[in-house]
């Protein structure tokens, strides 16, 4: 089968590549673009380790073909912050011990990033329900919830201070 | 994890999508949100030569409420169903049910049309659409036709849609009175062990209208006309609810799987229907 030209924006940078239509977005990111933060934890679209932000939506990059993603604007964990400038969510996952092995963390944080834009001041229940597409085998979720609630409080405080 | 190869098409009109489906016949499949089809392709349980992506077809999107008629484009996502204030007011059962489907990521991309056209008895919206007496509009090269949700499902993965047709929209009446979508599942994102869609209207203390459909308790969704009839005219007392549950149990045909044996599923179906009737009645 012929390859097709894929144009996507990843973390603000325009990328052009040739890919087979069947290549999954997660593989395009990891194997062709070296964006290896998003992970693969299953093959049935349950775990959410591959979650990226695509055109303003949290999506599981294992369930999107490269062809479907053509033209999309994608943010991954690498685009939210790095070691020299952590995103508030990254800082709070660190402070509240919201990760252990770290394998679910990129997907968790990328999902939480979108959740907090939709519900800036969520309840604990809203966080748990809003994160239900992301599985974690290490933390038991409790500290992930704490980290997200703490990040929400920080972001809201910063917003108020700016007004 | 690795699907077979295919050629990809992204038409920008229904007419052009239909041309591609006709050209490639059995080889071609339409893809909406892709969250049933891609998992099947990754397991090589679906082999697709030509994938026809409907994402660029603007005509397939959107929610329209005109008077008491609701028309939803097939490519409208679960997330859009949940966040539509207009729909929450005209038919709140859609939001209640959609919040019980899958998880946030899946709801951002999974569509109402894909859910109802998929043909998997595990999907929640087919039963709900039978409860609402929805009409599906199917487009073919010779024009469009309407099929009632109550006539659409023939067997698991077999529906009234022809291979060269596209489901373009879903139409139903705004609801009045009480509603409930009650679903028993093992965890978030699971298909139902049993689920019930119930609409109830009351005239004073008397039930004046009822509609009931069950999910994942047969190889198709099951519209339970006799169960609803058992409620109409009653005061929704225990005897009437018992009669409705008994009538429902006559019409379902659950199969044993890892959600439980047949006896358990029948039991759960009864519990779920009672809860749904009670919640719908309390809202009526």
Claim to verify: residue A73 and residue A108 sit in the same structural domain? no
Q: How far is B229 from chain A (nearest CA, A)?
A: 36
What pTM value is reported for the model?
Answer: 0.97
pLDDT one-digit tens code per residue, A13-49: 999 999 999 999 999 999 999 999 999 999 999 999 9
- Give the confidence band of A83 by pLDDT, cuts at 50, 70, 90: confident
pLDDT one-digit tens code per residue, B131-153: 999 999 999 999 999 999 999 99
Q: How high is the pLDDT of residue B220?
A: 98
In this structure, is residue B1 part of a structural domain?
no
CA B171 to each of CA A33, B60, B135, B167, B225: distance values in angstroms, whole numbers, following the listed order:
44, 13, 5, 11, 20
Q: How high is the pLDDT of residue A82?
A: 87
Of A4, A46, A132, the CB nearest to B104: A132
Mutate which of B5, B77, B104 to test chain A, going by most A C-beta atoms within 10 A? Answer: B104
In the predicted model, what is the mean pLDDT of residues B25-35?
97
Q: Does A126 touch chain B if contact means CB atoms closer than 8 Å? A: no
Claim to verify: residue A133 and residue A115 sit in the same structural domain? yes
Claim to verify: residue B192 and residue B265 sit in the same structural domain? yes
Claim to verify: residue A29 and residue A96 sit in the same structural domain? no
Q: What's the domain count of chain A?
A: 2
Q: How high is the pLDDT of residue A1?
A: 62
Q: Which of A1-10, A41-50, A142-151, B103-112 has the lowest mean pLDDT?
A: A1-10
Claim to verify: residue B84 and residue B153 sit in the same structural domain? yes
For residue A75, give the CATH number of its domain: 3.10.20.30
Q: What's the domain count of chain B?
A: 3
CA B59 to each of CA B74, B75, B141: distance values in angstroms, whole numbers, following the listed order:
9, 9, 16
Residue A131 gets which letter from DSSP?
T
Claim to verify: residue B231 and residue B146 sit in the same structural domain? no
For residue B193, give the CATH number of its domain: 3.30.390.50
pLDDT at B122 over 90: yes
Claim to verify: residue B124 and residue B219 sit in the same structural domain? no
Q: Find the domain containing B157 and state its range.
A: 61-173
CB within 8 Å: A68 and B105: no
Q: How high is the pLDDT of residue A125?
A: 98
Q: How high is the pLDDT of residue B153?
A: 98
CB within 8 Å: B39 and A45: yes
Share of chain A above pLDDT 90, in %: 97
Instruction: Report d(CA B221, CA B219) in Å as an integer.
Output: 7
For chain B, what is the HEC assignment?
CCCCCCEEECCCCHHHHHHHHHHHHHHEEEECCCCCHHHHHHCCCCCCCEEEECCCCHHHCCEEEECCEEEEECCCEHHHHHHCHHHHHHCCHHHHHHCCCCCHHHHHHCEHHHHHHCCCCCCCHHHHHHHHCCEEEEEECCEEEEEEHHHHEEECCEECCCCCCEEEEEEEECCCCEEEEEEECCCCCCCCCEEEEEEEEEECCEEEEEEEEEECCCCCCEECHHHHHHHCCCCCCHHHHHHHHHHHHHHCCCCCECCECHHHHHHHHHHHHHHHHHHHHHHC
Claim to verify: residue B79 and residue B164 sit in the same structural domain? yes
Q: How high is the pLDDT of residue A2?
A: 85
Claim to verify: residue B116 and residue B143 sit in the same structural domain? yes
Q: Which residues of A touch B4 (CB under 8 A)?
A: 22
Claim to verify: residue A62 and residue A128 sit in the same structural domain? no
CB within 8 Å: B104 and A46: no
Claim to verify: residue B166 and residue B249 sit in the same structural domain? no
- Give the confidence band of B162 by pLDDT, cuts at 50, 70, 90: very high
Claim to verify: residue B65 and residue B166 sit in the same structural domain? yes
Q: Find the domain containing A39 and state its range.
A: 4-79
Size of interface A-B (CB pairs under 8 A): 84
In the predicted model, what is the mean pLDDT of residues A85-99?
98
In this structure, is residue B12 part of a structural domain?
yes
Contacts of residue B38, Cβ cutoff 8 Å, sequence gap at least 6: A45, A63, A64, A65, B3, B31
Q: How far is B194 from chain A (nearest CA, A)?
A: 21
In the predicted model, what is the mean pLDDT of residues A148-161?
96
In chain A, which among 14-33 make CB contacts under 8 A with chain B? Answer: 20-22, 24
Judged by DSSP in three states, A150 sits in helix
CB within 8 Å: B39 and A44: yes
Claim to verify: residue B14 and residue B27 sit in the same structural domain? yes
Last residue of a domain, one of B138, B173, B208: B173
Claim to verify: residue B35 and residue B98 sit in the same structural domain? no
In the predicted model, what is the mean pLDDT of residues B89-98?
98
- Give the confidence band of B231 by pLDDT, cuts at 50, 70, 90: very high
Claim to verify: residue B168 and residue B102 sit in the same structural domain? yes
Claim to verify: residue B248 and residue B189 sit in the same structural domain? yes
In this structure, is residue B74 part of a structural domain?
yes
Strand extents, DSSP E, chain A:
4-10, 13-19, 51-54, 57-60, 73-75
Claim to verify: residue A37 and residue A91 sit in the same structural domain? no
Residue B132 dihedral angles phi and psi, to the nearest 5°: -80, -5
In the predicted model, what is the mean pLDDT of residues B70-78?
98
């Amino acid at each position: 089968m012929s390859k097709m030209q894929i144009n996507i924006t990843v973390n603000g940078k325009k990328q052009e590549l040739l890919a087979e239509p069947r290549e999954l977005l997660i593989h395009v990111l990891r194997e062709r673009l070296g964006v290896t933060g998003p992970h693969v934890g299953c093959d049935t679209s349950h775990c959410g380790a591959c979650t990226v932000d695509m055109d303003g939506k949290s999506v599981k990059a294992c369930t999107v073909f490269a062809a479907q993603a053509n033209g999309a604007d994608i943010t991954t964990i690498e685009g939210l912050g790095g070691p020299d400038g952590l995103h508030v969510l990254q800082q709070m996952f660190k402070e509240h011990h919201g990760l252990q092995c770290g394998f679910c963390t990129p997907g968790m944080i990328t999902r939480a990033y979108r959740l907090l834009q939709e519900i800036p001041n969520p309840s604990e229940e809203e966080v748990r329900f809003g994160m239900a597409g992301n599985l974690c085998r290490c933390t038991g979720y409790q500290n992930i919830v704490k980290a997200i609630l703490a990040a929400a409080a920080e972001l809201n405080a910063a917003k108020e201070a700016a007004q | 994890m690795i699907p077979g190869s295919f050629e990809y098409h992204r038409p920008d009109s229904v007419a052009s999508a239909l041309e591609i489906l006709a050209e490639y016949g059995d080889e071609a499949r339409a893809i909406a949100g892709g969250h049933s089809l891609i998992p099947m392709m990754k397991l090589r349980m679906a082999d697709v030569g030509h994938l026809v992506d409907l994402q660029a077809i603007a005509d397939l999107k959107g929610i329209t409420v005109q008077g008491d008629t609701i028309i939803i484009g097939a490519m409208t996502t679960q997330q859009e169903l949940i966040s539509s204030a207009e729909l929450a007011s005209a038919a709140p059962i859609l939001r209640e049910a959609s919040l019980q489907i899958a998880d946030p990521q899946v709801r951002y991309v999974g569509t109402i049309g894909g859910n109802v056209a998929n043909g998997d008895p595990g999907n929640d919206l087919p039963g709900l659409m039978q409860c609402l007496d929805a009409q599906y509009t199917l487009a073919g090269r010779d024009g469009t036709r309407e099929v009632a949700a109550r006539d659409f499902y023939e067997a698991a993965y077999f529906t009234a849609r022809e291979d060269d047709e596209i489901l373009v929209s879903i139409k139903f009446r705004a609801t009045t009175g009480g509603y409930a979508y009650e679903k028993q599942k093992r965890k978030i994102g699971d298909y139902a062990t049993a689920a019930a869609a119930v609409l109830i209207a009351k005239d004073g203390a008397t039930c004046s209208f009822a509609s009931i459909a069950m999910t994942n308790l047969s190889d198709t969704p099951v519209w339970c006309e006799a169960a609803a009839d058992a409620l109409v005219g009653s005061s929704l007392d225990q005897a009437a609810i018992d009669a409705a549950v008994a009538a429902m149990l006559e019409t379902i045909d659950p199969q044993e799987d890892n959600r439980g044996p047949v006896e358990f599923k029948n039991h759960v179906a009864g519990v779920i229907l009672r809860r749904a009737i009670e919640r719908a009645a309390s809202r009526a």
